[in-house]
Structure 1
Amino acid sequence: MKTLLAQLAKFGVVGVIATVIDFGVMNLLHYGLHLDILIANTAGFIISLVFNYAASMKFVFEHRDGMSRTREFTIFLILSVIGLLLNDGIVLILNKGVALEANIAKIAATALVMIYNFVTRKIFLDGTGA
């Protein structure tokens, strides 16, 4: 149980940094450059994804024996694309459908996708077992 709690704490730290990157890019592009929210949100998500992969696989999850780094990254990428679709869908519905401010919509999307990310990465990528 302590190992899982330590892993969750590391996941949280990596997640906070990735979230700052994600929000920073989204706000710069949406409010600074006046790009559409969907484009800005997607760009922020993708840039933070690169950081998140490197940090998650170095500090949070252990490399699974017998899995190549190429396969590991491919699984991470597939799970992340699903996460991106969930994130974009939630932001789009809340921002354009319900008229919530972009950052409020992004907070809701981030919270929901964070749960999805931890669970799916733990199942598919972690070499320590469930």
Structure 2
Amino acid sequence: MTKTGAHRRPSLFQRLRGVSGEVLQFAIVGLGGIAVNFGVSNAVLHATHWAPVRCSVIGTIVAIVANYIGYRYWVYRDSDAASRRREITLFLVFSAIGLLIENGTVWFTTYSLAMTGTLAYNGSKVIGTGIATLFRFFSYRTWVFKTMPELAEPTVVAQAERILADQPVQQYSNS
């Protein structure tokens, strides 16, 4: 039994090519978030001399807020916003898990390995941020910012455009 063109699943290369723009946008927002995270956490650490994990958590929280704005209004602007409360709740849940991953490495480095210098602090943040970023990317795109289904049939697209333009829709028959 052969599959028709309309029911064929895209190849792995096609799927990866389709997600490359999303990955690039996610990376740009993420790099901005990393700059905010490291800037805020290091500023708080050196200005207050508080515990490293506390300063790291503060930086991560500020970055989460900045990243949400970037993801919601740029990367995933076409996502289904019908349930914004659900989206924000899931975003915060997965961000909190990412926060634990990221700051767990800072805690481990500081309290288990007894490495307390600026290099050790930032190195542990780099490792934790990298692991947390992978987790966040897959969780955000899978559960938080669900995209609207794309319409593949040209006649369906044409009918949808006529509906949106408030024009009468003609019925098409296959005969």
Q: What is the TM-score when the length of structure 1 is the normalising length? A: 0.91
Query: In the alignment, residue 128 of structure 2 is paired with which amino acid?
Result: A
Whole-Å Cα distance in 1 between the matches of residues 137 and 106 of structure 2?
A: 20
> For 2:141, which of 122, 125, 129 is the aligned residue?
122
| Count of residues in correspondence between the two structures | 128
Query: In the alignment, residue 131 of structure 2 is paired with which amino acid?
Result: L
Whole-Å Cα distance in 1 between the matches of residues 89 and 79 of structure 2?
A: 14
Identity %: 26
Is the Cα contact below 8 Å between 2:87 and 2:145 reproduced in 1? no
Alignment RMSD: 1.6
Query: In the alignment, residue 103 of structure 1 is paired with which amino acid?
Result: N
Structure 2 unaligned residues grouped into runs of 5+ = 1-15, 149-175
2:64 aligns with: 49
User: Which 4+ runs in 1 deviate beyond 3 A?
Assistant: none
Whole-Å Cα distance in 2 between the matches of residues 69 and 12 of structure 1?
A: 23
Q: What is the TM-score when the length of structure 2 is the normalising length? A: 0.68
Is the Cα contact below 8 Å between 2:102 and 2:128 reproduced in 1? yes
Structure 1 unaligned residues grouped into runs of 5+ = none
Please say which structure displays the higher CA radius of gyration: 2
Q: Pairwise mapping of residues 26-37 of structure 1 onto structure 2 (< 5 A)?
A: 26-37=41-52
